[in-house]
Amino acid sequence: MTISFRRCRFRAAVGLFSIACLAAFARHAPAQPTYKLEVKPNLKPLAKLELKGTHIARSDVKDDPGFRLQYHFKKEGKSLKTVEARANPRLEIPDQTAGTYAVVLELFYPAYKGGDKQKGEFKAISNELTYRVEPGQKPGAAVKVVLVEPPKSPPDKPKK
């Protein structure tokens, strides 16, 4: 019985000594720095989307702050689907029914506001790629995806 009592006393003494050492060293240790999550004003994230057959491919993001990236698909002006893009630099178009579609790469910009709503917003960081899906010649045939060129703005008139 005396042996187990001695072990308990020894363990308690070691535990108290350990706590005292940690407390003494913790005063002198520097604290972890805190970082505010934001997109710095000098960073201008930018990427390029391309149509390759029935796939959408994105370039690497220049000045990437590392927040969530997503493809935002629209069909005839209405939001259709968002797909996570950071792990998918190339993906197949999500809807292959006939129609005109647009896709843009968006980056999440965090904001620090009170309340329980999403704190931040998604902003476009790429060109908007517009494409048209045309049905195949025969039922069951592969669809045809055609790039739709954006309308060109008229050239500026020279000033007199």
pLDDT confidence of residue 119: 79
Neighbours of 91 (CB within 10 A): 17
User: What letter represents residue 40's amino acid?
Assistant: K
Q: How far apart are CA 38 and CA 141, in angstroms?
A: 47
DSSP element (H, E) containing 25: helix 2-28
Q: What is the pLDDT of residues 41-71, one digit of tens each?
A: 778 899 999 999 999 999 999 988 888 999 9
Upper half-sphere CA count for residue 149 (Cβ side, 13 Å): 3
pLDDT confidence of residue 49: 96
DSSP element (H, E) containing 18: helix 2-28
Q: How far apart are CA 107 and CA 104, in angstroms?
A: 10
Tell me: pLDDT of 8 over 80.
no
Tell me: pLDDT of 24 over 90.
no
Range 134-148 average pLDDT: 84
Q: How far apart are CA 11 and CA 16, in angstroms?
A: 9
Q: What is the pLDDT of residues 86-121, one digit of tens each?
A: 999 999 999 889 999 999 999 998 877 666 776 788
pTM: 0.68
| Lowest pLDDT segment from 16-20, 99-103, 108-112, 147-151 | 16-20
Cβ contact 21:28 at 8 Å: no
DSSP string of 88-112, one letter each residue: -SEEE-S--SSEEEEEEEEEEEE--
Q: How confident is the model at residue 156 (pLDDT cuts 50, 70, 90)?
A: low
- Closest-CA residue to 134 (of 96, 160, 91): 96
pLDDT confidence of residue 100: 94
Q: How confident is the model at residue 152 (pLDDT cuts 50, 70, 90)?
A: low
Cβ contact 124:104 at 8 Å: yes
Burial 30-43 (b: 16+ CB within 10 A, else e): eeeeeeeeebeeee
Cβ contact 47:90 at 8 Å: no
